Structure 1
Amino acid sequence: MENKSQPALEQEPVRAQRVAPAGEGSQAGDSNALTRLLRKRLERYVSIMPVVLVGDDPDAVHDVRVWSRRLQQSLVALFPKPRSGKVRKLRRTLRRVRRALGQWRNCDVVLKLASKQQRRTRSREKKQAWGLVRDYLLQKRGDQVARARKKLRRQNLADLVGRIEKLMVQSGGQQETEALMARLCAGIEGAWTKWQSSLVQAVEARQRSDIHALRIASKTLRYRIELLHDLGDANTQPLLEWLKELQEALGIWHDRQVLYQAMAEAMARPEFLLRRPDVARKLLIEMEKDYLRQETAINEIFRLAAEHGGRKQMETWIAKTPHETAPPDRT
């Protein structure tokens, strides 16, 4: 996954660390530190992109998407609303990159799942069925890779770097520490409020779209807290560990949904149904059995969201954190 776990550290209360005046030993919230973090994330993002353009490493595709989110989160923090057209354009560019790679990434994930299913079964018929799904996915992946690279080649990496560097010079790191920290914490509180609403809706409806919305809300909350952590607030480590565990459970659920979609697409082809109705029946049985098991996975997601100790730590952190009111921000 994109974030390596670290042991939680015992430190002073979050409030005391977060509002410490500049020059008294607190690194969290220093706008110069935020500029340095933005540059570090930019370097990481730019270093991975060429691998995606010319290579065939699924991890590189995943990493570009992760670091584009981290880079975007840093831009949002350093340049608050009202943002210039230049900053908004950079955000759109990063979102386009993620969208371009989305289907490629889905194909990589589902191919891995289909290959695992094929290896695990001893039935010759089932092996053949999963093999046909893999063949379909390999063809689809090739199309998605070509489409994604065509879009990505329109992105000028040197130009992206130049535009961000210019903005960093213009910012000059002149933002006051306390104001910056209050704004970052307000962003986290806004994401937390959205997350709570998404959880209530998902629990009540138990619909795929609502659970997906909870997944996105969890991801947003995690990336905002991660930014604060990377700026020196180690008190957020337990929160990140909880969100990482929750996001992994949501990610596994999401991957199974993408697998079902791929199986349906593979079977929906006329040549498949007409020539191999026996294989289609096998796949439908497999899908039904696995789909029933997803109820257990959903219950585990809701348990992690509501009963995990990290949830209580998150509530305590929010209660202790000074903040300013901030408008909602799409990141």
Structure 2
Amino acid sequence: MGDMTYWLPVVWAAILVVAVAAYVILDGFDLGLGILFPFYKTEEHRDVMMNTVAPFWDGNETWLVLGGVGVLVAFPMAYAIIMPAVYLPIIIMLLALIFRGVAFEFRWVAKPDHHSVWDVAFAGGSIVATFAQGVVLGGILQGITVENNAFAGGALDWLRPFPIFIGLALIAGYALLGATWLLMRTEGEVASRAREQAKALLPIVLVAMGIVSLWTPLATEHVAEVWFSWPNILYLSPVPILTAFAAWICWRSLVTGDELTPFIATIALFMLGLIGLGISNIPYLVPPSITFWQAAAPPESQIFTLVGVMIMLPLILGYTIFNYWTFRGKVRPGEGYH
């Protein structure tokens, strides 16, 4: 049982990483469209934008559910600590996602002269949900006050400069994902505008990543030790080098007229950012005090739920791949899935 006690939390941590990465990529460009929505004024353009994600948007949030439930069943101590620390932004995020989902569906059945109401709801829900997600991430990364394996901070500990900055940075990041998605899935004026938006957003995202990369180690001693001690600085150097390379590829492909590469390069930027955050905090699930193993449920509970995940995860992956393959290609004005 000793080996299982060690490896089961690691397996569950890997599952959570997959869920978070999948959610950030898939729902990221989805929310990004809502963030960009106010910049597309015509009804035709907005219809095209929404039709690019109509077959996917609700399925994308499956990964958010998997991540949240995974923390609850595999790491109940971490769940009990994290939730009260960021309870308010999580509630705001969920309400914004619900509001956005209602706006998405109601817009299609509303009379054209009522579309503006649902357009505002769709854009507002996307922006608020994205900002709240960034605040939750920042609130966890800045460290949670823990005493006797329980949350011992205040309900507004997340209301600090670092989480607020992460929230704003994530808005820019998701908008970049949304712009490169539109570039890949549309044509004509929508695609041209998306390309220009991506060119404007990429430097903002890179500056934000640079600020976070410096702010985190300066504010947290154990993160500084991870990145700037020898020989770690040598071993971890590929992460910033690959990030710079992905950014260069993204910019070059935007300038040369490529349609697919900017989206792939933006995904690479996000994944490298997540890798960097993971390296900074491993093995802490609740920085800077609770590790995977300390937060883990009893091995029997982890095994029981792991069996279910091993059955459902391939099904979710298979459905997602099938869905994206089926609805591949450009979306043109007048075409749609509603």
User: TM class by shorter-chain length?
Assistant: 0.3 to 0.5
TM-score for the superposition, normalised by structure 2: 0.35
TM-score for the superposition, normalised by structure 1: 0.35
